[in-house]
Structure 1
Amino acid sequence: MKRKVLATVLSMMMLSLAVAGCGTPKEESTAASGSGSKAASESGASSASSGGEAAASSSEKKGKEAKDIKVAGVVFQEDQFMMLMQKGYQAAADDYGVECMLANTNNDQAKEAELISTYTSQKLDGIAISPLNEQTSIQTLKVANESGLEIAVGNTKLKDAPFVCGGFTSDNYNIGELTGKEARKFIEENLDGKARIAIVEYQSLLPEQSTDRKNGFLDQLEGLDIEIVADQDAWMQDTAVQTASDILTANEASGGVDIIWAANDGGTIGSTMAVKNAGKAGKTFVFGTDAAEQQVELLRSEDNILQCVTGQNPYEIGYKTMEILIQTIQGEEGSFGQEVVVPGIVLSRTDPDGIDQFEKDLTERMGK
């Protein structure tokens, strides 16, 4: 298999790509039901305290009544995925009768640090957060925890962060893997087992997460006659439109691009729009990641560009991350170190019934 641009395959993430900073607990799986029940999360690993004064400060908070608890729910980007994650945060807070402040760092590391510092000075009880960076966010969150705030992390993992009480995320390798299986069938059935592929990812934003998704996708194409003609970052929709357009233009004379695979919401939508704008419908096909209203519309479109996405369950991720935060503050034992993977959801143009069901569930969660 020819790969002109391909990062080294990272270790397999199945049932381990949650908040890795919680040590090495037993991984668990939960159905992406989005039911928002107040039932306690599945059994976790043993508690791990922050130690010293921080542990005492945290201990004082435990056992608080819900009406006295104040928390924050933070995401890092303006898209439907993050909006649904925030809705999950708020739904859990509402179900437990807890006051919740929602915020968005808008891909700004300085703003994330400022928000966390503000919540610390305001003496909140805890923060549920999707960190902007797997490494640089740790120190600020650690300081907040040492000041008495509980920290729960969703949608990504943090290394060497034993202070995190728990969290929920997706298995990023599996997200790419599920889409890759669909792409393999498409290439075999429609392209005679041969394809020129462009990658649109977010390596410079979250390198491990992006690489895991990419490798999950590409590993399913082993044995086919594949050439990677481009691998570029573009995770926001507007940027992805331009990046994918440039890729299509650059490869026009050398055989074109058969497939674009995108690693996230913005990349998927932007790449699909770029193919349409370039008049390449029927020649270039898109496979992507994340599922929301726009992806549903594009999968149903008669232009036949977007073929398949593997969606996550951001509402469930947000709900469960906030839930474990609240449970920890209330003094429930067994929270620290827990990691749970929320399964991915495959939406394919060839399965309209699956798309219909997903849209129905999405509408309910959006409150429409």
Structure 2
Amino acid sequence: MTGRTPRLGWYVHHHGRGHLTRLLAIAPHLDAEVDAVSSLAAPAGLPSGWTWTVLDRDDDGGAPIDPTVDGMLHWAPIGHVGHRTRLSAIAAAAAERHWDGMVVDTSVEVTLLARLLGLRTVVVTQPGHRIDRPHLLGFAAADTVIAPWARGILSPPHLEALGDKVVHTGGISRFTARVADGPRTDEVVLLASGGTVGPAAIRDAEKATGRPWRALGGGAWADDPWPVLATAGVVVSWAGQNAVADLAAARASAVVIPQDRPFDEQRETGRALRRANLAQVEDSWPTAAQWPDLIERAATARPEWERWEVAGAPQRAAAAITDTMRGRR
């Protein structure tokens, strides 16, 4: 493909907010026409000319039948109409809209479908212990694997054998272009979506530390948490990739508490942050008695968040995608 703007599909996984947030961070820098497909509803803020197709769900309807094909795949349940129609919709869009390639964030099955359709394929990976058969099959089928963190700080084993196929972009944050230059307050901000900590535990931590706490997550989610992140004295966060990238963009003094996620994704990220001395990392929610010292240690730390390489990360991801679609990788 030469001499024209590439057109590509982009699969956005529907679990959590991270996959969609990453798309929206990269979108302004991407020189391509994009047809996004997802079980999520279309978001606000898509670039002009992009399309969004809502796919049927494939994770409802009772007990699935042989969804892993005896361990070869992650999710291909026999007889599930939603699974069949969502893959059919992707294949139809690829043919009708003449895609040059596809970005998959993230699904082994969609990666394999894209490659079987003869599309150049970019996969966004995540940390964790992803050396199972399905993951290795998906990575082998991809032309490019985007790792949205800094090279060297986080080195999961599944990337070791992929060589130049991997592009370490640095942490991809939607706040990369914004500057945290205001004065810091005494406030502790809990940046936590999808966690299990209840209001009573937060009140106990607030009382123990003698600082005001604010929770951003669940029902209190803010569409633009930047003003709060940029001025917080300490941010308490889980260890998801977007959350960590946002901490780095805000140069936040942070307490990071990894949550249990598939393939130990957040646990591995937490260990990397601890080794790099970028945050105070706790394996579980601290007791009320532990919080005062923990918050004080975080507040007085000066983490070198530039090592997470958020500056320019969305642009590097966009360049890797367009280079792949143009056959340069």
User: TM-score, length-normalised on structure 2?
Assistant: 0.40
Structure with the bigger RCO (C-alpha within 8 Å, sep 6+) is 1
Structure with the largest fraction of helix? 1
User: TM-score, length-normalised on structure 1?
Assistant: 0.37
